[in-house]
């Protein structure tokens, strides 16, 4: 069951909706902007730029030329469209402290002496220690792991089933951020001919993988 969950692709949309800004605890830390348009011209200006502080609801009104207000309106409209379109391709996902989840190491490149076909899509499972905001979680990673243990919800997949064996290993990460497999043991050796020379092929058991994944 665990091996299947590690290697299987997820068929659902990526997790983690875009999040609104939190409620501020000081004035003028978080503001909103809007425009009042279509007003009668006054000294060549027919638009009022409105800035509102979210905590105090204090507002500042600024007269603008129509061209400048159009640029601001386009920027705000574009930001709203970006969030709407992004959320169409994402799903809401939430875990609880104590849940066991699999981890996808998406920020890292894969490099292996073996074929990449046996590389698991996810590592783990690992226990969730803490929820940090609406879309970030802190995991109980193996002792000595050099990866920061906080991950976005889109990197996590919940463990299915009642039997749980926490993983004690993670792939080795180089200083360049490369996930690199580490040989654990040589299982077999075989003499082979390469052109006019003799060579040796070895069957390697890779650390963190089963014997069936040996290459």
- Same domain? For 162 and 121 the reply is yes
Identify the helix (H) or strand (E) that includes residue 54: none
pLDDT for res 181: 66
pLDDT for res 7: 60
pLDDT for res 114: 42
The answer to the question of residue 122 being in a domain is yes
Token representation of residue 9: 């692709």
pLDDT for res 115: 42
Rg (CA), the chain: 27
- Same domain? For 6 and 49 the reply is no
What distance in Å separates the CA atoms of residue 121 and residue 78, rounded to the nearest whole number?
34
pLDDT for res 129: 93
Point out the domain boundary residue: 70, 88, 106: 88
The answer to the question of residue 206 being in a domain is no
The answer to the question of residue 208 being in a domain is no
- Same domain? For 61 and 133 the reply is no
The answer to the question of residue 176 being in a domain is yes
Residues of the chain below pLDDT 50: 107-117
pLDDT for res 90: 76
The answer to the question of residue 207 being in a domain is no
Report which of 204, 202, 163 is spatially closest to residue 183, judged by C-alpha positions.
204
pLDDT for res 2: 61
- Same domain? For 100 and 84 the reply is no
Token representation of residue 194: 């390469």
Q: DSSP secondary-structure letter at 107? A: T
- Same domain? For 122 and 168 the reply is yes
3-state helix/strand/coil string of 167-198:
CCCCCEECCCCEEECCEEEEEEEEEEEECCEE
CA 149, 132, 10, 158 torsion-angle sign: positive
- Same domain? For 149 and 177 the reply is yes
Q: How many domains does the chain have?
A: 2
Contacts of 11 (CB under 8 A, 6+ apart): none
What distance in Å separates the CA atoms of residue 102 and residue 59, rounded to the nearest whole number?
47
- Same domain? For 7 and 103 the reply is yes
Beta-carbon-side half-sphere exposure of residue 12 (alpha carbons within 13 Å): 12
Domain containing 131 equals: 2-12+94-182
User: What SS3 state is found at 97?
Assistant: coil
pLDDT for res 137: 92
- Same domain? For 65 and 118 the reply is no
- Same domain? For 62 and 125 the reply is no
- Same domain? For 58 and 152 the reply is no
Point out the domain boundary residue: 88, 114, 131: 88
pLDDT, tens only, 165-179: 766 667 666 655 555
């Amino acid at each position: 069951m665990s091996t299947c969950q590690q290697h299987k692709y997820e068929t659902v949309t990526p997790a983690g909706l875009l999040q609104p800004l939190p409620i501020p605890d000081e004035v003028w830390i978080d503001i909103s902007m809007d425009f009042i348009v279509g007003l009668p011209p006054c000294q060549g200006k027919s638009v009022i730029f409105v800035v509102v502080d979210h905590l105090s609801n204090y507002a500042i009104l600024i007269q603008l030329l129509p061209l400048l207000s159009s640029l601001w309106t386009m920027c705000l409209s574009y930001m709203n469209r970006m969030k709407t379109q992004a959320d169409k391709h994402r799903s809401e996902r939430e875990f609880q402290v104590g849940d066991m989840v699999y981890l996808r190491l998406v920020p890292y490149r894969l490099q292996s002496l073996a074929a990449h076909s046996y590389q698991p899509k996810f590592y783990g499972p690992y226990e969730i220690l803490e929820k940090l905001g609406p879309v970030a979680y802190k995991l109980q990673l193996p002792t000595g792991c050099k990866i920061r243990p906080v991950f976005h919800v889109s990197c996590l997949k919940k463990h299915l089933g009642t039997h749980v064996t926490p993983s004690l290993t993670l792939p080795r990460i180089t200083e360049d951020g490369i996930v690199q497999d580490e040989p654990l043991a040589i299982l077999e050796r075989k003499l082979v001919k390469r052109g006019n020379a003799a060579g040796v092929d070895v069957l390697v058991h890779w650390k963190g993988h089963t014997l069936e994944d040996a290459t």
